[in-house]
Structure 1
């Protein structure tokens, strides 16, 4: 069987792999039931759904007819390093610098990976996401997330 659309084939394969990994990884936790779901309930369901959708995309790529096979382009290493670096910096700084410092750094830093980066838009997004994250996680759900840097006594 010939691959008609390489991009869909490889992205479908990636979704099947990631979905399967999440579903299998969640098997070590308790499922609970529908009324009181356990820690495995959501990752297992999401993993299975992701694997099914990936399989549909993968199978569709085998039936697709494109003139050049829609080849996969060059790998964007620079953007990958910028985004993963921003996430790693967020994880490292959150307990030390708090949400109000680290989330804007994450949003602005990862936005810099785009060729269409505009500081004004990144600042707006960072502000909106920080306020919404504070409202949902800190106020709404009552999670204890450090909000300010530790040197400020928070």
Structure 2
């Protein structure tokens, strides 16, 4: 077996690893049925879909017509920006509210991009913050403060 596209193959393998984690975590929970879902339904469905997706990606990486592509090294700077943005969001969510936490998350995460521009970051922050507030606060009714309590 010759792996032609190493990047795709490793991506497929990561999907399989996450799928196995979801399946193993949710295996002991009652799946219920599609009409009456139990706590194990979502982990099993998501795990099954990730298995299929991972296998499809891995098979595509070894097929004869696949593009030859190597595996690049880790971009530790971008990884640090993304990880930092998630930690900042977790810290700010209860202390400063959903809007401030999302703005912080999106600005810091956008610094990880090689194509970063302030204009693009501002447009992205406005659009995604509005979408997230509409979906999670108003649509799903999640109990987060929108803004800091001192405002």
Relative to the length of structure 1, the TM-score reads 0.87
Offset at residue 39 of structure 1 (A)? 3.1
TM-superposition CA deviations, 1:3-38 (whole Å, max 9, x none):
222112211111111112112212243323212323
Cα separation, 1, equivalents of 2:82 and 2:136: 23
Which range is displaced more, 89-98 or 124-133? 124-133
Q: How does 1:115-126 map to 2 (within 5 A)?
A: 115-126=114-125
Cα separation, 1, equivalents of 2:82 and 2:127: 19
Contact 1:86 1:110 in 2 (8 A): yes
> What is the number of equivalent residue pairs in this alignment?
151
Structural RMSD (CA): 1.8
Relative to the length of structure 2, the TM-score reads 0.89
Contact 2:23 2:47 in 1 (8 A): yes
Return 5+ residue gaps in structure 2 as ranges. Answer: none
Return 5+ residue gaps in structure 1 as ranges. Answer: none
- 2:96 matched to which residue of 1? 97
- 1:61 matched to which residue of 2? 61
Offset at residue 42 of structure 1 (A)? 2.0
Find out whether 1:108 has 2:110 as its counterpart. Answer: no
Offset at residue 135 of structure 1 (A)? 1.6
**Aligned in 2, Cα 1:9/1:30: closer, same or farther, shift over 3 Å?**
same
Offset at residue 62 of structure 1 (A)? 2.2
Cα separation, 2, equivalents of 1:92 and 1:28: 32
Cα separation, 1, equivalents of 2:50 and 2:144: 30
Which range is displaced more, 98-107 or 140-149? 140-149
